[in-house]
Structure 1
Amino acid sequence: MRQQEDSVHRIIALQQEVEQLKHAVVSHAVVDQAIGVVIAYAGVLPGTAWDVLKEVSQHTNTKLREVAEHIVQWPRCEWLPPEIRQALDSSVERHRHSPVPSGSVDAR
C-alpha cells in the first residue's frame, strides 16, 4: 500500500514538473520574440535587446514574460502600456549612448 501511495505522489510530482516545463518553453519563446521586436525597433544587438527587456521589467516592476507579451503584440495592435513604452524608450536611449566593447559590431 505504501509503495502504491509513493508511486501516485511521484506521478503527480512528475505531471506538475511537465506542466512547469511546458510553461517555461512558452515563456522562453515569447521572450525570444520580444528580443526580435526590440532589435527591429532599436537597431541593437540581441544581447542589448535582452538587457533592454530586463531593464523594462525592473523599472516597471512587471514580470519579464508580461513585458515580452506586450512588446510582441505591439506591432500588431500598435499600442504599448505607457509605462512600458516610456521604460523601453529610456532603456534604448541609454544603451545607444553606452560605449560598445572593442571588437564587437553594433548595428547602430
Structure 2
Amino acid sequence: MKLRDVEARVAVLQREIAELKEAVDSHREMDRALGVLVAVAQVPPGRAWEMLRDISVHTHIELRRVAFLLTQWGYTRILPPQVEAELERQLRARRERQARGGSAGGDRRVG
C-alpha cells in the first residue's frame, strides 16, 4: 500500500470517527430530553419520543435542537415561545384524551 493510499484511508476513517462521535452526542441529547419529558412533564416513555418528534415537526426546529431546549427546560423552566406553545398544546391534547377515557398515546400500564 502506498503512503498516499494510507493517508487517504486515514482521512476517511477520521471522518467516520467524527460522524460517530456526533451521532453519540446527538443520541445522548435525545435521551436526556426524553428523560425530561418523562420526569418533568410526566409523559409516559412510549409517548415522549413522539412528542419530541412532533414538537420538532410543528415548530420547524431541528430535532437535536428541540432535544437540547427541552433538556435545558428541565432545570431552567425556560423555553422559546414556539416550543413552549407546542409542548403545551400536546400536553393539553393528552390530558383531553385521558379525560375522555381514551388512550393518551403510549400510556400503557405493565402488569
Using the alignment, how far apart are the partners of 1:59 and 1:94 within structure 2?
A: 14
1:1-108 → structure 2 map (5 Å cutoff): 3-96=2-95, 97=97, 99=103, 104-105=108-109
Q: Taking structure 1 as the reference length, what is the TM-score of the superposition? A: 0.84
4+ residue stretches of structure 1 with deviation over 6 A? none
CA positional deviation for 1:9:
1.1
CA RMSD, Structure 1 to Structure 2 (Å): 2.2
Structure 1 residues 10 and 95: alpha-carbon distance in aligned structure 2, compared to 1, 3 A threshold: farther
The count of residues paired between Structure 1 and Structure 2 equals 104
Structure 1: tracts of 5 or more residues without a match: none
CA positional deviation for 1:76:
2.5
Q: Taking structure 2 as the reference length, what is the TM-score of the superposition? A: 0.82
Structure 2: tracts of 5 or more residues without a match: none
Q: In structure 2, give the amino acid aligned to 1:15.
A: Q
Using the alignment, how far apart are the partners of 1:75 and 1:100 within structure 2?
A: 22
8 Å CA contact 2:94–2:104 kept in 1: the answer is no
8 Å CA contact 1:56–1:87 kept in 2: the answer is yes
Deviations 1:2-56 (A, max 9, x none): 7322221111010011011111111111110100111123322112011000000
